[in-house]
Copies of this chain bind each other. A is one copy, B any other.
């Protein structure tokens, strides 16, 4: 199977799991389920679930039910996009190539749809029936910590907002991104490894891999925001500069940022040295993250 075939197959698998776990549009109250599904099934790349699945496969042999655990990451990611796009936050009209959730369903419903996706992520993990309760609890703890305020996604979002217009130092830049996008990407890899039953050494290696891939992802995201059109990205391009966000291109310039992403890609590969061919998909994901155009 080629890498593109792998991606397409796993995306379908994740989408099917999401479809099973998110109430149908016909379930009352229908509005919120339509809003949740509108944002969830808007053609995301499913990067976080893909990382979790590939990490689980690397430590175990395609463990059953991993796609359910993995879809909790997409639920968290999608809630964060809906809330970030709200007028009170980034005030964005375009996401994944479509009008944002609040543009279609109104602000009240967008706030509640985000809350509901966040809540559902933990329900999905708590009701996983393919792993023992010890592991279920560990997965909930991992996801909650990565999504939280101390070194997690919400904390990063707060620093990002408060950093707007401030003098951008390298240290501030890295601390924002480690939390804002890095924590959840790292957790994706770790959750997959935990699900697959990784031992301490394997989990440690996966953690390092997750950190490097996470940083590479964010650097490339910042670069694409400068270089690409809104049409190509499916979201409003060039808004980092407009909002005076602290970004890698702003601190290092485009060329140096690209080099840094490449360095992170290499470090990500090195972190996987203890794994054999079973980690090949993870290596390919790291390559894809750095070389993508959108």
In the complex, chain A residues 112-140 whose Cβ is within 8 Å of any chain B Cβ:
112, 114-116, 118-120, 122-123, 125-127, 132-134, 136-138, 140
Give the complex CA separation of A155 and B27 in angstroms. 10
What 3 pairs between A and B have smallest CB-CB spacing?
A: A123-B144, A88-B107, A126-B140
Interface residues of A (CB under 8 A from B): 23, 27-29, 31-33, 36, 79, 83, 86, 88-89, 106-109, 111-112, 114-116, 118-120, 122-123, 125-127, 132-134, 136-138, 140-141, 144-145, 147-150, 152, 154-155, 157-159, 161-162
Contact B116 A88 (CB under 8 A): no
Give the complex CA separation of A33 and B159 in angstroms. 12
Give the complex CA separation of A266 and B258 in angstroms. 70
Contact B149 A116 (CB under 8 A): yes
Contact A111 B140 (CB under 8 A): no
Kindly list 5 other residue pairs between chains A and B, CB separation below 8 angstroms, not including A83-B112, A112-B157. A109-B158, A111-B111, A112-B154, A115-B115, A123-B144
Residues of B within 8 A of A79 (CB): 115
Q: Chain B's nearest CB lies how many Å from the CB of A87?
A: 8
Residues of B within 8 A of A120 (CB): 144, 148-149
Contact A158 B29 (CB under 8 A): yes
Contact B116 A118 (CB under 8 A): no
* Residue in contact with A159 in the complex, picked from B23, B29, B119, B141, CB distance below 8 Å: B29
Question: Nearest B residue to A80 by beta-carbon distance?
Answer: B115
Residues of B within 8 A of A138 (CB): 126
Q: Chain B's nearest CB lies how many Å from the CB of A259?
A: 30
* Residue in contact with A154 in the complex, picked from B28, B116, B132, B150, CB distance below 8 Å: B116
Residues of B within 8 A of A152 (CB): 119
Contact A115 B114 (CB under 8 A): yes
Q: Chain B's nearest CB lies how many Å from the CB of A253?
A: 27
Give the complex CA separation of A157 and B31 in angstroms. 12
Residues of B within 8 A of A157 (CB): 112
Give the complex CA separation of A88 and B109 in angstroms. 9
Contact A123 B141 (CB under 8 A): yes
Q: Taking A107-B88, A114-B115, A149-B29 as contacts, is the C-beta distance between A144 and B158 under 8 angstroms?
A: no
Contact B161 A108 (CB under 8 A): yes
